[in-house]
Amino acid sequence: MTLKQITAVAAGVLLLAGAAVAQEKKTIAVSIPAADHGWTAGVVYHAEAAAKEIEAAYPGIDVVVKTSPSAAAQVGAIEDLAAGGQLDALVILPHSSEELTGPVQTLKKDGLFVTVVDRGLTDPTIQDLYVAGDNIAVGGTTAKFLVDKLGGKGDVVVLRGIPTVIDDERIKGFEDVLKGSEIKILDIQYANWNSDDAFKLMQDYLAKYPKIDAVWANDDDMLMGVLQAIQQSSRTDIKYALGGNGMKEIIEKVMAGDAMTPIETPYPPSMIKTAIYLTAANLTGQVPVRGSVKLDAPLITKENAKEYYFPDSPF
């Protein structure tokens, strides 16, 4: 099931249960990282949008969104939220799984419904619901496209993000699909999910390797730096420069049929909106959703790109 389908189901449940919710006030706290780069800016945008939509439609539910610039600040934020009044649920995208597990566990003891998004806690038994994208598919779907388009042969360079499980899974998905082909990874280094760092690393790759058939930056912030470096180099050997996550600028390229960036794989920040809607649906008592929800990472092409385009989002 896609993100939009899941969100639509949750919204439908709330519509049916709206009268029941209105009889007893419920509060959902949403704790997320501050907008320190494109993807987290998208998370903040969609979280605030979900809060406004739910509160406007269902006066029995309050949604309080708090952003934090660091793990330590996030610990303080959720403690303040708990101290400020009775919470019924917590939706959290942790800065750090390790640092947030203990504080969330403490709140869980008070009977909160806990939804974790993207970065799981070190103790998964704490979370009632886990919502995330399929990072292995983000890498695998991209690699399959390259294998098909390059005829199973070629030289590629890869830009990683930061040392995290998310990054490891994307790389695993990419490398696993390349196995058995004659596509060679010339180099693979971290660029910290940062456009400037990616620009510098891509310049290094361009200077080091006279022939590159394709580039994969496993995040669109990095891809923007890669594309800038390629443009300045005037190199003509690079057939494809691909990313991942669904940044609107990259989706626009796909919609326009860009030759170098004709496809994309989604890891949408709007997953936070799905998580908030599902949590609200749980509070109604109508549909008790538990366990894990893994969102699809299908190939985004010119034909379906419009479905993944959010022009008003910062990402």
* The residue to which tokens 């909160």 are assigned: 112
- Co-location of 113 and 166 in the same domain: no
Close Cβ partners of 69 (under 8 Å, ≥ 6 residues apart): 33, 34, 36
- Per-residue model confidence as pLDDT tens digits over 34-90: 987 778 899 999 999 999 999 988 888 999 999 999 999 999 999 988 887 778 999
Average pLDDT in the chain: 89
- Co-location of 27 and 130 in the same domain: yes
From CA 224, how far away is CA 230, in angstroms rounded?
A: 10
Q: Between 248-255 and 220-233, two packed helices, what is the crossing angle to 10 degrees?
A: 60
Of 80-84, 200-204, 254-258, 301-305, the one with minimum mean pLDDT is 80-84
Of 6-15, 36-45, 173-182, 287-296, the one with minimum mean pLDDT is 6-15
pLDDT at 16 (0 to 100): 47
pLDDT at 21 (0 to 100): 45
From CA 40, how far away is CA 85, in angstroms rounded?
A: 27
Residue 224 lies in a domain: yes
- Co-location of 76 and 222 in the same domain: no
- Co-location of 161 and 93 in the same domain: no
pLDDT at 35 (0 to 100): 85
- Co-location of 70 and 10 in the same domain: yes
SS3 184: strand
Residue 305 lies in a domain: no
Residue 315 lies in a domain: no
Of 20-34, 88-102, 201-215, 269-283, the one with minimum mean pLDDT is 20-34
**How many residues comprise the chain?**
315
Residue 314 lies in a domain: no
pLDDT at 88 (0 to 100): 92
* The residue to which tokens 């098909």 are assigned: 148
Q: Which residues pair with 216 in a beta bridge?
A: 158, 242
CA dihedral for 14, 15, 18, 20, sign (positive or negative): negative
- Co-location of 230 and 277 in the same domain: no
Task: State the chain's maximal CA–CA distance in angstroms.
Answer: 68
- Per-residue model confidence as pLDDT tens digits over 90-149: 999 998 888 999 999 998 887 899 999 988 888 999 999 999 999 999 999 999 999 999
From CA 50, how far away is CA 59, in angstroms rounded?
A: 14
Domain count, the chain: 2
Closest CA to 223 of 272, 267, 179, 164: 267
pLDDT at 10 (0 to 100): 53
pLDDT at 226 (0 to 100): 98
pLDDT at 20 (0 to 100): 47
- Co-location of 221 and 181 in the same domain: yes
Higher pLDDT, 36 or 231: 231
- Co-location of 118 and 78 in the same domain: yes
Residue 149 lies in a domain: yes
- Co-location of 163 and 209 in the same domain: yes
- Co-location of 57 and 121 in the same domain: yes
Q: Name the residue range of residue 248's domain.
A: 135-255
pLDDT at 283 (0 to 100): 85
276 with 50: CB under 8 angstroms? Answer: yes
* CATH code assigned at 102: 3.40.50.2300
pLDDT at 119 (0 to 100): 83
* The residue to which tokens 């959290």 are assigned: 92
pLDDT at 165 (0 to 100): 78
- Co-location of 142 and 195 in the same domain: yes
* The residue to which tokens 């936070």 are assigned: 272
- Co-location of 21 and 128 in the same domain: yes
- State what percent of residues in the chain have pLDDT above 70: 92
